[in-house]
Amino acid sequence: MLIDRIFNGNDAVYGLTCQAVEEAIAQHGADKAVEFPHTAYCLPCYYAVTGVKVKTLGEMKEALGVIKSLMTREHQLDDALMSGVATALCAEFIEVLKYLDGAEPYSEPYYGHLPDSIIRELGVPLVTGDIPGVAVIIGSAPTAQEGVDLVKSYQAQGILVTLVGGIIDQAQELGLKMGYNVRIVPLGKDITSVIHVVSVALRAALIFGNVTPGDAAALIKYTSERVPAFVNAFKPIDDVILAAGAGAIKLGFPVISNEDENITEVPGALIACPNVADFNKVSLEARNIKIKITNIDIPVAFASAFEGEIIRRKDMQVEFDGSRVDCAELVQTRSMDEVEDHKITVVGPDVDEMELGSKNPIAYVVEVAGKRMQPDFEPVIERKFHNYINCIEGVYHTGQRDMQRIRIGKEAYNAGFRIRHIGEVLYTQVKNEFEAVVDKCQVTVYTDPAECTRIRHEVAIPVFDKRDARLENLTDETVDVYYSCILCQAFSPSHVCVVTPERLGLCGAVSWLDAKATNELDPNGPCQIITKERPIDENLGSYEDVDEAVQKFSQGALEHVTLYSIMQDPMTSCGCFECICGIEPFSNGVVIANREYAGMTPLGMTFSEMASMTGGGVQTPGFMGHGKHFISSKKFMKAEGGIERIVWMPKELKETVAERLNKTAKELYGIDNFTDMIGDETNTTDPEELVAFLTEHNHPALSMDPMM
């Protein structure tokens, strides 16, 4: 049905074109030159699709044969779409005939053909996103006002709007200012004039995409991926418009229409949208266009200079305090249709209704949706809230999760700052900074006490618990990829961290989830995916994939790295490690020193002496830098027997890690209170005395296989 209509429309246009060309030849002769003004691409669409430059009426006639060959009638969707392309090429032929003999067929307000220079000029803002999209509006809107409102909505978003047919009259009727300089370009009255915007898209592919003319596949790939255009076609849609629309769809431009008769939807390509007021939203979503937000709509300043501002009690209008009343901050991933972009809802009283200097509950839930959004990114986004809210002039924030504290200063309040503005800030910053994963975002801020209690206890805490559980259960075995981290290469050129779920970066600051999020947000950035498909020795944690990655990211300085051994190809260190472990031969185990510990260790070396040997990206078998958290990991020097090898660490460090370390020891070896067996500086810093201490406490390392 739909396909038949497209074929019909195509046949009709083709017939008209043949007739027009014949008539022109009859009138001017086959040698008559045809060209559009100010382009180096002859008939740009035909040239882009076929690679052939058509310069005379005679050549046009031959070209019609080529177009005919596109018009296959197999009754498949793709035949229909190719017929759409054929229709577009015919439209170009019809249009170029209008320019015979240097005629100027279009005059104010119509533009018709657009010169190459406009494309070069448009290319830059299209690439930068300053022009986030190109709208092609065809036909007459149900009412002039609806049409103009639609055009204006695109204009306000910076989108370039091209108009064909009745909508131009409607715009004129309401006195809308049009012109290239205001990004509203009326092309022409006839449907064929739509080809002038298609011509822009295809020339962009040739100029900006280096697409070879005639390489139709590359051409379509370029327009689909790089030209953010879409079509809004008002009813009634006749067969010819439908055929032209099929051409647009073939180029990757979705068609949105309020037509409801004799039409079938094609998901993602031909979309029914009965209400013209929804065209904008539906179009942007269909073409995946994101509008850049340039300023935050709040009555006070927003800048990092305010990050360190502290609001004292006497300067405070109101405060919110998670340690006293129910508060929470939370990011939740939703599906695309569950989120209305930029919807800010406040549930409960505003600052005006709160008593001066009072303590109140607050909970804000930021719901995000995006094709590439993953629940694992939620905590990464959440962690930025502190920074976002703190950058507001006159507002102060500390803490996180359900323990945050916020103060709003009197000056900010007097300047008009209200609860909704917290939502505005969160919305804008999340959209801007997490553009790569967040397509839509809505914020609900609760100040109603009962709601805050509900959000905290029934929504937020269960989510936090679930996340913690997921972190606990993430193991090296349960994930498919690891990540490299080369954030420190500025200081330590040949160092590469391999971050796994059970071995966070040695600085202690980059977990596997952080690395994963960094990679998604900045695919060319410091964290890259490392596959683990080709294990060499799983006990050592050596993989061909890991070795290749390490070689690549260290520019050849490193060849092999194992994940779980400190004796064989241990992982290198940049210098920002929290701790270093080193082999202690007399007790057949390892000593760990942390950065804060300035004293001597049983190795006869201080932390800084050990650091000078292990830093700078060199491999020093027997020594390795690592994060504090890694000490209680089941993967800690697993190849050498694991945490049972730990014979000494500074008292303070021991206390920090005791709970988790003892838990791991119990799980792995059934040892209770393992840390009691480990020496520290209050026992001894002498290797012989350490052996005596270990013997006395029956430390398991003494009876293990020799480390070397």
Stretch that binds other proteins, among 19-27, 453-461, 472-480, 553-561 (CB under 8 A): 553-561
| DSSP character at residue 600 | B
623 touches 566 (CB < 8 A): yes
567 binds other proteins (CB under 8 A): yes
For other proteins, the binding residue among 190, 238, 307, 538 (CB under 8 A) is 307
Q: Which of 107, 294, 524, 682 binds other proteins (CB under 8 A)?
A: 524
Other Cβ atoms closer than 10 A to 267? 8
- The DSSP secondary structure of 116-127, one letter per residue, reads HHHHHHHHHHHH
Residue 121 found at the interface with other proteins (CB under 8 A)? yes
Binding status of residue 433 toward other proteins by CB under 8 A: no
Q: What CA–CA distance (Å, rounded) separates 306 from 283?
A: 38
* Binding residue (CB under 8 A) for other proteins from 51, 142, 462, 621: 621
Q: How far is the CB of 603 from other proteins (least distance, A)?
A: 5
Contact range with other proteins by CB under 8 A, out of 260-268, 323-331, 414-422, 608-616: 608-616
Going along 390-451, which residue ranges are E strands? 395-398, 405-409, 440-446
Q: Which region, judged by CB under 8 A, interacts with other proteins, from 40-48, 74-82, 124-132, 643-651?
A: 124-132
Locus of tokens 């076609």: 233
> Is residue 293 near other proteins by the rule CB under 8 A?
no
Closest CA to 191 of 155, 147, 143, 236: 236
Position 529 contacts other proteins (CB under 8 A): no
* Minimum CB distance to other proteins, residue 489 (Å): 6
DSSP character string of 13-27: HHHHHHHHHHHHHHH
User: Which of 29, 268, 525, 599 is close enough to bind other proteins by CB under 8 A?
Assistant: 525
Q: Is 114 in the site for other proteins (CB under 8 A)?
A: no
Q: What is the DSSP string of 184-212?
A: EEEEESSGGGGHHHHHHHHHHHHHHS-PP
The pattern of x and - marking residues 182 through 211 that bind other proteins according to CB under 8 A reads -------------------------xxxx-
Residue 128 is a binding residue for other proteins (CB under 8 A): yes
Nearest 5°: the CA angle 253, 192, 264 is 45
- Grouping H, G, I as helix, E, B as strand and the rest as coil, residue 444 is strand
Contact 113, 99 (CB under 8 A): yes
Q: Is 123 in the site for other proteins (CB under 8 A)?
A: yes
Q: Which of the ranges 120-128, 191-199, 357-365, 630-638 carries the binding residues for other proteins, by CB under 8 A?
A: 120-128
DSSP E strands in 254-402: the ranges are 255-257, 270-272, 316-321, 327-333, 343-347, 359-360, 362-369, 395-398
Phi-psi region of 559 (alpha: psi -120 to 50; beta: other; left: phi over 0): alpha
Q: Which stretch binds other proteins (CB under 8 A): 152-160, 361-369, 524-532, 537-545?
A: 524-532
The only residue of 409, 423, 615, 679 in contact with other proteins, by rule CB under 8 A: 615
- Describe the crossing of helices 195-208 and 116-128 by its angle, rounded to 10 degrees: 70
* Separation between Cα atoms, residue 448 and residue 329, nearest integer Å: 15
Q: How far is the CB of 199 from other proteins (least distance, A)?
A: 16
Residue 622 contacts other proteins per CB under 8 A = yes
Binding-site size, other proteins (CB under 8 A): 61
Task: Find the part of the chain contacting other proteins (CB under 8 A) among 241-249, 308-316, 401-409, 530-538.
Answer: 308-316
* Residue 164 interacting with other proteins (CB under 8 A): no
Binding site for other proteins (CB under 8 A): 120-121, 123-125, 127-130, 207-210, 304-310, 390, 396, 486, 489-494, 524-526, 552, 555-557, 567, 575, 582-586, 600, 602-605, 609, 612-613, 615-616, 618, 620-623, 687-688, 708
